[in-house]
Structure 1
Amino acid sequence: MLAGCTAGGAGAFGGGEGGAGRGGDTIRVTPHDGARDVPPDGRLEVRVPSGRLESVRVRRVEDAEPAEVPGAVTPDGLRWRPGAGTRLAPAAKYAVDAVALDGHGRRSARHTTFTTLVPAHRFIGYFTPEDHATVGTGMIVSFRFNRPVRDRAAVERAVRVTADPPVEVAGHWFGADRLDLRPERYWRPGTRVTVDLRLRDVEAAPGVYGVQRRTVRFTVGRSQVSRVDAAAHTMEVRRGGRLLATLPVTAGASRTTTYNGRMVVTELFETTRMNGATVGFTDAQGKGEYDIKDVPHAMRLTDSGTFLHGNYWAEPSVFGAANVSHGCVGLRDVRGGSATSPAGWFFDRTLVGDVVEVVNSRDRKVAPDNGLGGWNMDWRRWKAGSALR
């Protein structure tokens, strides 16, 4: 089952951000979300058919040297284009974040990613977290390769993760194109982690060689682990083991339950769009069961569409009393988001890499390769997935 979220009824909306939208104020991005092998000099544009673009940010991500793509919104507010002569980097991943206003001042948001062309017979690993990031103690170093890896041992040997203070770090392969690395337990707060990539000229498959050689560093911040009890409709937020707050929540309804297990925050959005069609919730005509353009304080927990996010459309009495979502975890919020709401309070205290654990849901445990779900696998099984064992 794909996880998403909504609050039931005529005003219901839910999870699965970044999907193809419908309606007059849809934000349209070229190249399309998830596009691969985009030519570095190919067309890059963000546009709306009406209203105006409030902000557009295009940047190279998952790279040791993230870079903004220069550009500007046209005077009529309908289009954003890169600066004259701009050429994207080859073998790179880019993220587009755009916010638009319609004629009534209502905001909608769009987040998409695409990757540029990798030269023939070369491979590259797109990784998280970013260089110089400060992350939560649950961060897992994750590589996704653009081509299937046949010689997993050679590639794994070329990716070295070390920590100060020292701790054993082991890799685990999920299929032929993903390698995750983590310690046995959550990182100790304050740990400084170094990722040395020595993939250049490593032969991953017959005739396919790596192009990367760089060093990435990140720091582990304070420990924050939040425990969602789907039966009690509460979330306990603990910082360094000390209870900070118990917040009322709504989780997945009986037919669209929330995954159990430990999940890691991988993305944070002040505002994002969620469309049910992107996570498999469609009506008889194949359209999304919900489509909301301004979900506030959204924190991604799984690749399949589970978020912990602000909810302004459900009745206040729902929070702490009933589960009505399509699989996400909802915190009370207001339209546009408020720093003083439960969702805003939690969002402002959350890092990428923080852990959210769900218990007492009537669903199965989240898969270890769904987002950064590797903490749901014990250490013996985790190490058994290494090509170096």
Structure 2
Amino acid sequence: MIRTPSVPRALLPLPAAAGLLLVTACGGPAGEESGARDVTVAMAPADRATGVAPGSPVALRVTGGQGTLADVSVTDQRGQRLDGSLSADGRSWTSVPATRPSSTYTLAYTAKSADGSRRNGSGTVTTAAPEKPNKLELRPGNGATVGVAQPVSVLFDHRVGDAEKVDIERNLRVETSPRTEGSWGWVKDSGGHDRIDWRPRDFWKPGTKVSLKGEIAGLPSGQGRYFARNYATSFTIGENRVVTVDVAGHRMAVTEGGKAVASYPISAGSDTYPTRGGTHVVLAKNAKETMKSATVGLGDAYPSLPTTSVIHLTSSGTFIHAADWNADQIGAANTSHGCVGMLSSDARKLFDRVLIGDPVIVKNTRNTEITEPGNGFGAWQMDWPAWKKRSALKG
């Protein structure tokens, strides 16, 4: 099993005045055990602080005496624990991960003096509600079975600041079984939204179990926005199915487990509108769809064209679909506006066979343009070194 690490924040220095509370073992009468009276503890934010910025850590530090901290516990109003990291000398503790918005955290801890005596302390901290949350969408959906080219994909509602990308990426953990090498890469989707995809170095091994845990509640995303909660999804990799479109040969081949299982005649994009080359990923499937040229920047070339067995390859309008109106050209010439047309009987067979996430490799096309990686799931348009460079952590 491999995971992309969630790197804890470093222990932060506590402020000298504002936002800091000094107590003798925190709280006087709250802890009446003998000893530990010379130990003072600083808490930040201060006890009973409200309106604290989401994402702010909760921190404790011994500031007087020769004591250490022990048995630190922080829980929110739902009883969920906020974990933390104790320094090597035992004199400071900082919460990890970040605090959530609209939450009240209750702290309980013990300060221990040099002679072993102890004294208890407690406090509360309340975070502010996020005025501008940033939500996200995860793909594939939880519990899905997908093809061997499917990336883990996180789409953000609002722009993510460059300064925030490192911390966000560090708190997105991908776990796989069996072990799979992969990397995150930041892209812009076709609507201009920020997206981060995790793709394996090579196609997934069939049967691989994949999970994503986004421990990002309270993290800032830039422009004053925060993430209000954590996210998670898990899915399974299906059969090793590969669809290969030979544009020049007017044929499509389908393999499963490396063995040929189907071959179909096709008509791809004309010389004027050549089909995009390279490795695409099945994005979506619609049994029936009406295609409109204006939506893909082709004016009124085909104002309204009903068709069936539609398989989406890019967000910009590269599809595989039934095209019986072009039956005399299928298997003989490439005459489309960039899509891959098939006889309806063949298109239905392919539609029923393929999964979301299956790779579709288009070769021998006149289109030498590299499709942007955010145009559909285009991570496979790039080689491995180039893809890793899109990580905020630089691979």
Shift of 1:120: 3.8
Distance 2:375 2:223 in 1: 29
CA contact (8 A) 2:321 2:347 kept: yes
Matched, 1:246 2:250: no
Distance 2:140 2:318 in 1: 19
Match of 2:138 in 1: 127
Of 162-171 and 219-228, the range deviating more from structure 2: 162-171
Match of 1:304 in 2: 316
CA contact (8 A) 1:137 1:220 kept: yes
Residue in structure 2 matching 1:388, options 387, 390, 393: 393
Match of 1:210 in 2: 227
Question: TM-score, normalising length from structure 1?
Answer: 0.64
- 1:1-389 counterparts in 2 under 5 A? 120-150=131-161, 151-175=164-188, 177-205=194-222, 207-282=224-299, 288-292=300-304, 294-314=306-326, 316-333=327-344, 341-364=345-368, 365-389=370-394
Match of 2:9 in 1: none
The structure with the largest alpha-carbon Rg is 2
Distance 1:206 1:273 in 2: 39
* Other structure's SS at 1:225 match: strand
CA contact (8 A) 1:162 1:169 kept: no
Shift of 1:146: 1.5
Equivalent pairs counted in the alignment come to 258
Match of 2:91 in 1: none
Distance 1:213 1:378 in 2: 31
CA contact (8 A) 2:186 2:196 kept: yes
Shift of 1:303: 0.7
CA deviation string 1:66-90 (max 9, x = no partner):
xxxxxxxxxxxxxxxxxxxxxxxxx
CA distance change for structure 1 residues 352 and 262 in 2, over 3 Å: closer, same or farther? same
Distance 1:131 1:212 in 2: 17
CA deviation string 1:172-201 (max 9, x = no partner):
112571111111001100001001121211
CA contact (8 A) 2:138 2:233 kept: no
Structure 1 stretches of 4+ with a deviation exceeding 4 A read: none
CA contact (8 A) 1:273 1:293 kept: yes
CA distance change for structure 1 residues 153 and 346 in 2, over 3 Å: closer, same or farther? same
Shift of 1:332: 0.6
Shift of 1:215: 2.0
* Other structure's SS at 2:314 match: coil
The residue type equivalent to 1:388 in the other structure is: L
The residue type equivalent to 2:311 in the other structure is: M
Shift of 1:326: 0.4
* Other structure's SS at 1:156 match: helix
The residue type equivalent to 1:381 in the other structure is: A
* Other structure's SS at 2:266 match: strand
Shift of 1:293: 5.0
CA contact (8 A) 1:273 1:295 kept: yes
Distance 1:169 1:196 in 2: 15
Distance 1:169 1:211 in 2: 27
CA contact (8 A) 1:273 1:291 kept: no
The residue type equivalent to 2:341 in the other structure is: G
CA contact (8 A) 2:287 2:308 kept: yes
Distance 2:303 2:142 in 1: 34
Shift of 1:239: 0.7
Q: CA RMSD in A?
A: 1.4
Distance 1:293 1:227 in 2: 26
Match of 1:114 in 2: none
* Other structure's SS at 1:317 match: coil
In structure 2, the gaps of 5 or more residues are 1-129
Shift of 1:161: 1.1
Shift of 1:206: 5.0
* Other structure's SS at 1:344 match: helix
Distance 1:241 1:291 in 2: 40
The residue type equivalent to 2:219 in the other structure is: V
CA contact (8 A) 1:262 1:366 kept: no
CA contact (8 A) 1:233 1:323 kept: yes
Distance 2:275 2:293 in 1: 15
Distance 1:199 1:332 in 2: 47
Identity percentage of aligned residues:
38
Shift of 1:350: 0.6
Distance 1:211 1:298 in 2: 37
CA deviation string 1:203-231 (max 9, x = no partner):
11153110231321111000111111110
Shift of 1:142: 1.6
Distance 2:238 2:304 in 1: 33
CA contact (8 A) 1:170 1:181 kept: yes
Distance 2:206 2:222 in 1: 38
The residue type equivalent to 2:142 in the other structure is: D
Distance 2:393 2:280 in 1: 26
The residue type equivalent to 2:313 in the other structure is: L
Shift of 1:254: 1.2
